[in-house]
A and B are shown apart, each in its own frame.
Chain A
């Protein structure tokens, strides 16, 4: 539903409405209760791009691609090391870092209001991939 950029950090997207079904479509299609005696409609011809399980392919092509990607890396370029995982749960519970995360917190509360109280998100929004930091182009084999 919303993508909240964190200052100097990663992005976390939250929400549960149909605004963005991409990340939950596998739950809707593959989980949930079934009644054995009933039938399930065929999902053949499904227009939704179903997320594929990532297969770590031990293939020559994959290895060569990885090697090439490594060769291309600019090793001199600086990078930020992620901060250590200190006691995040403790911090939250104790409210020690609330001020710092205030902007993000607001977004979260909004999401709860939407889904728990109103329980509907009627707007028709294309089920597209959210913005992402990663795009893998690994070769896949089924």
Chain B
């Protein structure tokens, strides 16, 4: 029977899985497969897994529990192996690698920060910065040509992008000193900054606090969405 793999931990992890449900409907029963040094948290793989919200939440719940009680390598959602023996074989084969990663991630958590700026505020910044943008804005307000409007839009789009990249850099620089590592992802539809940080657990509160301060400093034109402590999805 094929098995769904949630995470890999050291054999010394308490692996308290009571009360947790696996993916699938009905939810799979969680169990572990262990070698001398490592364990994998698995369940029987559902016949057809379609990544419903419930399943993603189940996957995440397992990670949060494991994170709360030790160190674990979270698997990407949806990973399925042929059977228990294949999982065991993988643990044996990559034991050194997994053990090393677990060591490096011990006592560390991930934070993900997304930052967004109200569009109107972004446009105001650009208008304040550029005489040419203001000039074109006046012209196109009163009429102007199609080309004037295109020129204005292009200039504004480029400047907004440049400003937000600078803002993203500024924000990351404030958080970088509190983090062990960071992964900056391309901006999203609704966030000009999307960054994950690996943070020591004993600095997690500082990190969160700095995130709050940042939100406060940037003011109401900005929205900061800080999620954490999370399993180190971005750092395995």
Chain A interface (Cβ < 8 Å from any Cβ of B): 4, 6, 8-18, 21, 23-25, 27-35, 37-41, 43, 45-48, 51-54, 56, 58, 60, 62-71, 73, 75, 79-85, 88-89, 91-93, 97, 101, 104-105, 108-109, 111-112, 115-122, 124, 126-127, 129-130, 132-136, 138, 140
Contact = CB atoms under 8 A, between A and B. Distances in A.
Contacts of B54: 124
Given A14-B208, A133-B116, A136-B119, 4 more contacts: A14-B211, A30-B76, A41-B80, A46-B52
Residues of B in contact with A, size category: 35 or more
Interface in B115-174: 116-121, 123-124, 126-127, 133, 136-137, 140-141, 149-150, 152-154, 156-157, 160-161, 170, 174
Contacts of A60: 150
A120 B187 contact: no
A124 B157 contact: no
Interface of B: 5, 8, 19-20, 45, 49-54, 56-57, 59-61, 64-69, 73-82, 86, 90, 94, 101, 110, 112, 114, 116-121, 123-124, 126-127, 133, 136-137, 140-141, 149-150, 152-154, 156-157, 160-161, 170, 174, 177-178, 186-192, 196, 201, 204-206, 208-231, 233-234, 236
